[in-house]
């Protein structure tokens, strides 16, 4: 493990606090992009031209031997009003780094400086990907479409985990985070006076019947040993107490770790909605929104990253999360490993995406060295 000097650690803390204080939403990370470029250029690290409007791509090393790996960190924030009371709380009203992406990008910056100082020892090239728009499941696809993965053999990433202790890194082969499918369902009936429901098609009844039937998918169509989640999170219909509305809608998400069951669940989902609506005289529109596949850790590469991570922290078996991660799009193209890095412990019981979300600065050296040690270890040991 590379020892961070007191001065460098304090610089990284200052950087993280600045980034935390100035969060930007997905695809709007303009000032963040400028800040990252300035810092990388200050350290003599080459910036790669890109067609992306936000985010930064940089490189360290030499790919003349054919080896190229990528290290990725996400940079966007969430539309959440911060309530931490920290002295470096967000100054951007209604926007907060409530998922720790300030911690991620600071860690990759720290790793970049160390790798640059040891560039002559690298057995290949390391591409740094400061990715925009992870929270809206679009940034990774944008990176791929811009061509920044074309010559890469392997990619590494991580997410802070507030329920793990500082000093712990959690890894697992195969699925570590679930696939994500977003759905939006419009239901069309016939409105009428609430006193004479027989004259119309009752949209609230149609929606409630559909929702009840949808829960049979997980309860009665999926093997109990498999992890499938189907959650309806938003329902709207009607505007008056004495009127049955013409229309309504509901939306939500499906999460899974098994690609075959993911497909089967979506097919069953569509059939239940269409058949239930038809049986009650209504019609429906099924719209699929953003999606991401399973965050799937290549077993061969994971074994190498486990060994590299043991030089950095206490490596434990990860418990797969039903949350999703667009890092998975990279893993569909090339071998990749995604880890959880402990940033809190018992105080992080509330998890991600809430107004009092906290990470501990003390975890920065672990995250920095996760990138550094594994960059060397993967370049030296991973054979495609």
From first to last of its 384 residues, the chain has per-residue pLDDT tens of 678 999 999 999 999 999 999 999 999 999 999 999 999 999 999 999 999 999 999 999 999 877 999 999 999 999 999 999 999 999 999 999 999 999 999 999 999 999 999 999 999 999 999 999 999 989 999 999 999 999 999 999 999 999 999 999 999 999 999 999 999 999 999 999 999 999 999 999 999 999 999 999 999 988 888 889 999 999 999 999 999 999 999 999 999 999 899 999 999 999 999 999 999 999 999 999 988 999 999 999 999 999 999 999 999 999 999 999 999 999 999 999 999 999 988 766 678 999 999 999 999 999 999 999 999 999 999 976
Of 291, 306, 361, the C-alpha closest to 338 is 306
Same CATH fold, 179-291 and 6-176+294-381? no
Q: Assign residue 147 a region (left: φ > 0; alpha: ψ between -120 and 50; beta: otherwise).
A: left
pLDDT reported for residue 137: 86
Distance CA 175, CA 326 (A): 13
**Two tokens at 153?**
């053999």
Distance CA 310, CA 377 (A): 11
3-state secondary structure (DSSP) of residue 136: coil
Pairing of strands 179-188, 247-256: antiparallel
Could you tell me the CA-to-CA distances from 73 to 137, 181, 208, 215 in Å, in that order?
A: 14, 23, 41, 36
Distance CA 211, CA 216 (A): 9
Residue count of the chain: 384
Residue 203 makes CB contacts below 8 A (sequence gap 6+) with: 187, 188, 189, 191, 237, 238, 244, 245, 246, 247, 248, 282
Distance CA 204, CA 330 (A): 41
- Fold of the domain built from segment(s) 6-176+294-381: Aminopeptidase (3.40.630)
**Two tokens at 9?**
């650690």
**Two tokens at 133?**
């728009």
Q: For the chain, what are the domain ranges?
A: 6-176+294-381, 179-291
Distance CA 380, CA 382 (A): 6
Identify whether the C-beta of residue 229 lies closer than 8 Å to the C-beta of residue 218.
Answer: yes
Distance CA 260, CA 265 (A): 9
- Return phi, psi of residue 178, to 5°: -80, 160
What is the second-level CATH architecture of the domain 179-291?
A: 2-Layer Sandwich (3.30)
Residues in binding site: 99, 101, 135, 159, 353
pLDDT reported for residue 65: 78
pLDDT reported for residue 303: 98
Residue 44 makes CB contacts below 8 A (sequence gap 6+) with: 116
Pairing of strands 68-74, 247-256: unpaired
**Two tokens at 266?**
């979506």
The H or E element that residue 110 is part of is helix 101-117
Residues in binding site for Mn(2+): 99, 101, 135, 159, 353
Residue position matching structure tokens 């594994």? 374
Residue position matching structure tokens 């920044």? 148
Share of the chain residues as helix, strand and coil, in percent rounded to the nearest 5: 35, 25, 35
Q: Assign residue 172 a region (left: φ > 0; alpha: ψ between -120 and 50; beta: otherwise).
A: beta
- Return phi, psi of residue 119, to 5°: -60, -35
Going edge to edge, which strands form the sheet with 283-292? 228-237, 247-256, 179-188, 283-292
């Amino acid at each position: 493990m590379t020892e961070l000097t007191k001065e460098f650690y304090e610089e990284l803390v200052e950087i993280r606090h600045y980034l935390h204080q100035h969060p930007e939403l997905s695809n709007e990370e303009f000032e963040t992009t400028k800040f990252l470029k300035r810092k990388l250029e200050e350290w003599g690290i080459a910036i790669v031209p890109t067609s992306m409007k936000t985010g930064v791509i940089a490189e360290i090393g030499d790919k003349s031997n054919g080896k190229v790996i990528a290290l990725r960190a996400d940079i966007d924030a969430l539309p959440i009003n911060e309530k931490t009371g920290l002295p470096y709380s967000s100054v951007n009203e209604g926007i907060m780094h409530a998922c720790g992406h300030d911690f991620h990008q600071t860690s990759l910056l720290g790793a970049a400086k160390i790798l640059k100082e040891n560039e002559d020892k690298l057995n290949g090239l390391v591409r740094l990907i400061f990715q925009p728009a992870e929270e809206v499941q679009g940034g990774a696809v944008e990176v791929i479409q811009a061509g920044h993965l074309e010559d890469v053999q392997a990619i590494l990433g991580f997410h802070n985990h507030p329920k793990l202790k500082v000093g712990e890194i959690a890894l697992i082969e195969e699925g570590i985070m679930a696939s994500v499918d977003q759905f939006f369902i419009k239901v069309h009936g016939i409105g009428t006076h609430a006193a004479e429901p027989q004259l119309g098609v009752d949209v609230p009844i149609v929606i409630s019947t559909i929702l009840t039937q949808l829960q049979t998918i997980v309860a009665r169509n999926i093997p109990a040993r498999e992890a499938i989640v189907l959650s309806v999170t938003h329902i709207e219909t009607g505007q008056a107490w004495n009127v049955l509305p013409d229309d309504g809608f509901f939306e939500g998400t499906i999460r899974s770790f098994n690609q075959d069951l993911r497909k089967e669940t979506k097919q069953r989902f569509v059939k239940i909605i269409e058949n239930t609506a038809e049986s009650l005289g209504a019609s429906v529109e099924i719209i699929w929104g953003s999606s991401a596949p399973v965050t799937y850790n290549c077993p061969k590469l994971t074994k190498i990253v486990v060994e590299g991570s043991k030089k950095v922290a206490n490596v434990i078996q990860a418990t797969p999360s039903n949350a999703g991660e667009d890092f998975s799009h990279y893993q569909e193209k090339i071998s990749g490993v995604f880890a959880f890095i402990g940033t809190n412990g018992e105080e992080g019981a509330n998890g991600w995406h809430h107004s009092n979300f906290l990470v501990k600065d003390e975890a920065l050296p672990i995250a920095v060295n996760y990138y550094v040690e594994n960059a060397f270890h993967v370049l030296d040991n991973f054979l495609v």
